[in-house]
Structure 1
Amino acid sequence: MTTNNSIQIMFAAVLLAGCGVSQSKPDNKPAETVAANAVSMFTLKKDVFSASLRIPGELVAYQQVDLYAKVNSFVKKLYVDVGSNVSAGQLLATMEAPEMNAQLAGAESRLRSQEAVYLASKANYDRLYQTSQTPGTVSQNDLDLAFAKQQSDYAQQEAAKAAYREIADTRNYLEIRAPFDGVISTRNVSAGAYVGPSGKGSEFPLFSLQQQRKLRLVVAVPEAYTAYLAGEKAISFTVRSMPGRAFNGTINRLSGALDSRLRSQRIEMDVQNNDKTLLPGMVAEVNIPLNNKDSVFVVPTTAVVSSTEKVFVVRLKNGTAEWVNVRRGRDAEGKTEIFGDLEAGDILVERANDEIRNGSKITQKK
């Protein structure tokens, strides 16, 4: 009995000790919940969003052309070389094609012969016409035949003139002249080389000519930013070879269509380059301002939550958190423009995340 009583007393003591520990443990759960739900907030308002797009571009010659020989010939003399500055109409090279002189002489002989035939038929018709003024001397049929012969010979004479001009004009192609002011950037032939039209006499052009005093800055702007582009908008850009110097330009041309592969719009800016500091082919870093004329909702970037399912902000409504779906606009300097079912004056969480559950109690941090 004594042993059983001792066991019962010890068992009761253990139970009482366990209950005492459980009752004495402090419950910190409400305090932690209150601390976790106190967040920084701000008042939503509209503002004019000012941002800029930094994007690479390429400088290209304002005009560029590859010059080929029009006819199969041999290079007789070159008057320019790589780096030569030339003006419009300047002689760059002369060719020689001896067989063309013989063709021109033959065409001239045929022209003279046809002129003589026409003069004879014209004189014959004039005589018959004068004679026909006396009734009964010349039949009308003979007069018509003589007139037809005169017209035919005249047409043959004009054809001979056209053939002569064709060969004479072709011979003029033996002189290669600059179509505009520029710089010779490539020379692929030397004196005595056989040249001709592309694919027939020459695989490469005689010269490549570039206009460098005025350049085009070409940029492919992504589709998301095309709505903010406008003609005559001033831009600035830099190049790697001169990192400390900024250059200016103006948007002059928009392609008006998106590239099917890159989903971007080509824009061009004219850049004056009178000192030829910039060179065609340089890569530029372009800064394009994307200012919006209308005011929009602008919030800190941290206030926008991008989850795998949605993009939203957290709004304070009657002391609880409300997820509001939004669409993101542009981002710049820690600010983001948003579009959604919002109103000016709404209270939003400044640093939102998906741990602040929709419908949970939240308070504004003091």
Structure 2
Amino acid sequence: MSSEAMQHPSQSLSRRGLRLTGIVIAVVLVAVVVIGLITRATQASNLKTWTAEQAVPTVSIVTPEASPNGPVLDLPGRLEAYIRAPIYAQVSGYLKDWKTDIGAPVKSGQLLGEIDTPELDQQLLQARADLASAKANSELAGITAKRWQAMLGSDSVAQQDVDQRTGDYAAKVALMNAAQANVDRLMAAKAFARIVAPFDGVVTARDTDVGALINAGGGTTGPELFVVSDIRKLRVYVQVPQSFGPSIRVGSSAALIVPEYPGKEFHAQVIATSNAVNATSGTTLVQLLVDNTDSTLMPGSFAHVHFSLPVNTQALRVPASALIFDNAGLRVATVGEGDKVAFKKVSILSDYGKTVEIGSGLTHGDRVIDSPPDGIKDGDAVKVATNDATATHHEKA
């Protein structure tokens, strides 16, 4: 066999191998292209799915809870004596002396001071002299009237004359009675020269001294000489905001704190309310009573009054971060049917800082969104975070 014949089969085999190699390479290239296209399509689909999922915000929800305790109302108050009597002079004169000073305990009727009344004394002397004169004239007129009555029986005098003498006697008796009344009036006024305590208490003020000119009367006509106060019990006056007025009733208790005794509380009880709202301040006046038998508290001082109000069974608490305040007013976002956002208007009863007490607009079963995302709208779809996801989110935060 010639050499040309031997080379021909080799060339055929070489061409066939090259063709097979080309086919394999083409198949590989096509497979690579197909896999690339499938991968890109899958990635695009996954990206689209991820983007769609990210477009739906994930929110954490809280459930409104009933308030475990009622709100605590802390208000300023002022203490006043249970009974306070400013004592004025009933007669004019000069203060002769005073018997008790400020802080002294006194009994009812105890002498506080005396007023020297020279002018009143002279008026009393004159009144007694007028009374003596009226008595003498009355006695003489009575004797005269009796004599003329006796002479009338003998027809020696006229009836007209007897009537005149009888009438003169009656007039003289009336003048005597008037003089007696004047003496009694001046004696009653003289008794007021002794200034006495009207009840058991403590002298809380003395605004006069020996030799001071005293003018009768009170207010602008005369000075306030003494003040006697009963401080065994004290009245506490508090201005309560209108919204809390109905919650504070007669018999309610309160804790009293004064600056001079830090950390110490005094028990007070509501004894009266004004049942009216002050149009200027929007508050109602509440009066409490606190025991002060040991004289620890002082009338006229300032105090903090703590009211523990009853629990409102209709009120629900939510985090303050759940509130939304915008042009539509005060609202909260809730998750409704189909995990869609539903806004609800609410009203706040009490603000406790981190939480607020909602008076209306929510129910126990509402799912309230805590810290709602910006731009969220009514009807938007949301995803509710699980407890694990919420915990992980808080840990990262």
Shorter-normalised TM-score: what interval?
Answer: 0.7 to 0.9
More helix, by proportion: 2
- Give, in whole Å, the separation in 1 of the partners of 2:336 and 2:277: 43
TM-score between the two structures when normalised by the length of structure 2: 0.76
Give the CA deviation at 1:323: 1.6
In the alignment, what sits opposite 1:62? 82
Instruction: Pick one of 221, 235, 239 that aligns with 1:220.
Output: 239
In structure 2, relative to structure 1, the CA distance for the partners of 1:353 and 1:194 (3 Å cut) is: farther
Among candidates 276, 285, 294, match of residue 257 of structure 1:
276
Secondary structure at 1:159 match in 2: helix
Distance apart, 1:47 and its partner CA: 6.2
Matched, 1:81 2:80: no
Q: Structure 2 CA distance, aligned partners of 1:142 and 1:352?
A: 114
What is the CA–CA distance in structure 2 between the aligned matches of 1:281 and 1:364, rounded to whole Å?
A: 58
Q: Does 1:190 align with 2:212?
A: no
The answer to whether the 8 Å contact 1:66/1:205 transfers is yes
1:300 is the counterpart of 2:318: yes
* TM-aligned CA deviation for residue 200 of structure 1: 7.1
- 1:301 shift after superposition: 4.0
> Aligned Cα RMSD in Å?
3.0
Contact 1:67 1:209 in 2 (8 A): yes
Change (3 A) 1:317 1:139: farther
- Distance of 1:285 and 1:48 partners within structure 2: 24
Q: Structure 1 residue 31 and structure 2 residue 53: aligned?
A: yes
* Identity of matched residues, %: 25
Checking the alignment, whether the CA contact within 8 Å between 1:324 and 1:340 is kept in structure 2 is no
Equivalent-residue separation in structure 1 for 2:260 and 2:78 (angstroms): 14
Aligned residues: 340
Q: Where in structure 1 are there 5+ consecutive unaligned residues?
A: 1-19
Question: Structure 1 residue 26: deviation in Å?
Answer: 4.8
Summarize the alignment of residues 119-198 of structure 1 with structure 2, pairs less than 5 Å apart.
119-129=139-149, 134=153, 139-197=158-216
- 1:172 deviates by 1.5
**Structure 1: how far apart are the matches of 2:190 and 2:258?**
46
Contact 2:67 2:357 in 1 (8 A): no
Q: Displacement of 1:142 after TM fit?
A: 4.0
Q: Give distance in 2, aligned partners of 1:306 and 1:147.
A: 98
Matched, 1:284 2:306: no
Q: 1:112 to 1:357 in 2, by over 3 A?
A: same
Once residues 143 and 301 of structure 1 are traced to their aligned partners in structure 2, the CA distance between those partners, rounded to angstroms, is 105
Q: Which residue of structure 1 aligns with residue 265 of structure 2?
A: 246
Cα distance in 1 between the residues matched to 2:325 and 2:175: 83
Q: Secondary structure at the match of 1:206?
A: strand
**Preserved CA contact (<8 Å) 2:61 2:367:** no
What amino acid sits opposite 1:323 in the alignment?
F
| Contact 2:67–2:317 (8 Å) recurs in 1 | no
Between structures 1 and 2, the one with greater strand share? 1
Rate the CA distance shift 1:149–1:309 in 2: closer, same or farther, 3 A: farther
Q: Distance in 1 between matches of 2:375 and 2:151?
A: 118
Distance (whole Å) between structure 2 residues aligned to residue 187 and residue 325 of structure 1: 61
Instruction: Name the larger-Rg structure.
Output: 2
Using a 3 Å threshold, how does the CA distance of structure 1 residues 114 and 30 change in structure 2: closer, same or farther? same
Alignment of 1:200-239 (within 5 A): 204-239=223-258
**Inter-CA distance 291–304: structure 2 relative to 1 (3 Å threshold):** farther
The correspondence for 1:316, drawn from 310, 315, 335, is 335
Q: Which runs of 4+ in 1 moved over 6 A?
A: none
